Amino acid sequence: MVKKMSQITGKKTSAIPSTRPLASLRISFGRCNLLSAIHLDFLFLFFGLVFLTSCAKPMHKDKFVIAGTFLEVMSTDARASQIVYEEFKRLDKIFNFYDKNSEISRLNSTYNTPVKVSPELLEVLRLSQQLNQMTNGAFDVSYGSLYDFWKELIKKGSIKELPSKETIDSIMKNCGMDKIKIDAADSTVTLQKEGLKIDLGAIAEGYMVDKAVIALKKKGISSALINAGGDIYCLGTNRKNPWRVGIKNPSEIEGIIENEDLVDEAITTSGNYEQFFDLGGKRYSHIIDPRTGFPVATHVISASVITKNCTTADGLATAFFVGGISGVNDFLSKYRSTMRIFLVTQEGKQKRVHVFR
């Protein structure tokens, strides 16, 4: 049975006043704190200082821009960041939706032709299929043309009215997991509808993090933290302590909603605070409910998932953002799980944190 944090601790779930939009994750490493994403420069300065003064073994840290995101790697092993970077570079050639020469783009340009795919693409597609079933369709990578349509609208800026249901329905005709035929024995994928586009934006980053962790382990590295645009994996411990990760309150620069200790675990957050549009007093996200064809515009403003691998955390954070509290409850009632889930909702002028563990 799933218990809310309030049931476990006896405390009410915290209600956090809302003042500012947005943020990312705030991460703390034992006694060394750092703010990710938007304050990178400050962060690395600060981090460096702390480690020079308080830590016996120096912590190597690097940041890159790769695969359309920023990538941070920290480890006491100087080789770690290069190994992670090389793995991301390799996988970007498979998963980059916006590079017309990537493997996914080449697959997306085909119709009714079995296409041989790499083991990595095959694996992510099969995982995506499973997550689609486990989340009652809240997670669906086959709606790329619809996600693109909404992203273009968001990019344009001011939206005066929502597109008609007819417009959305006509795009949705080209979507659906049932139109992707995966032949695992043959390593082929066939797109059975013209115009169908697979968009792995909600899962590929998490997968790349997991593959980078495997690459590190192969080289005998047992301690590192990888952060790819908020998809984070904590390998081993931070010297003798767990890696401490704080989940940022989406409405405050300094506030965090939870501090969590992670060892060999991943955390990912999906939310409506970075890409969105406002219309008629509602905030519409860049995450779309594939069952309606319209952007999520509920009281959920972010969903975070902590679990054993980053691929699942990434996919489920997106799915739980779509499904909200009932989606999480439904999932947990069917699948026994040790994962920790945090939903932040907007309740009038206040924010509320719902913790499932």
Of residues 247-286, those binding ligand ADP (CB under 6 A): 270, 286
- Site size for ligand ADP, by CB under 6 A? 16
Distance CA 194, CA 196 (A): 6
Q: Is 72 in the site for Mg ion (CB under 5 A)?
A: no
Q: Which does 32 bind (CB under 5 to 8 A by kind): ligand ADP, Mg ion, none?
A: none
Among candidate residues 321, 221, 304, the one with its CA nearest the CA of residue 266: 304
CB-nearer residue toward ligand ADP: 138 or 208: 138
Of residues 145-204, those binding Mg ion (CB under 5 A): 202
Among candidate residues 264, 270, 260, 237, the one with its CA nearest the CA of residue 356: 260
Q: Is 290 in the site for ligand ADP (CB under 6 A)?
A: yes
Minimum distance, C-beta of residue 267 to Mg ion, in the bound complex (Å): 12
Distance CA 285, CA 187 (A): 35
Site string for ligand ADP, 166-195 (x = CB under 6 A): ------------------------------
Minimum distance, C-beta of residue 291 to ligand ADP, in the bound complex (Å): 9
**Cross-strand bridge partners of residue 284:** 277
Distant-in-sequence, close-in-space partners of 139: CB < 8 Å, separation ≥ 6: 128, 131, 132, 202, 203, 315, 316, 318, 319, 322
Segment holding 85, helix H or strand E: helix 80-95
Q: Among 232, 318, 340, 344, indicate the residue that binds Mg ion (CB under 5 A).
A: 318
> What Cα–Cα distance (Å) separates residue 239 from each residue in 217, 223, 228, 235, 262?
16, 8, 21, 11, 13
Q: Is 314 in the site for Mg ion (CB under 5 A)?
A: yes
Q: Is 307 in the site for ligand ADP (CB under 6 A)?
A: no
CB 327 within 8 A of CB 283: no
Question: Tokens 């218990």 label which residue?
Answer: 3
Which stretch, 53-61, 137-145, 157-165, 240-248, contacts ligand ADP (CB under 6 A)? Answer: 137-145
Which residues bind to ligand ADP, rule: CB under 6 A? 138-141, 147, 199, 201-202, 270, 286-288, 290, 314, 318, 322
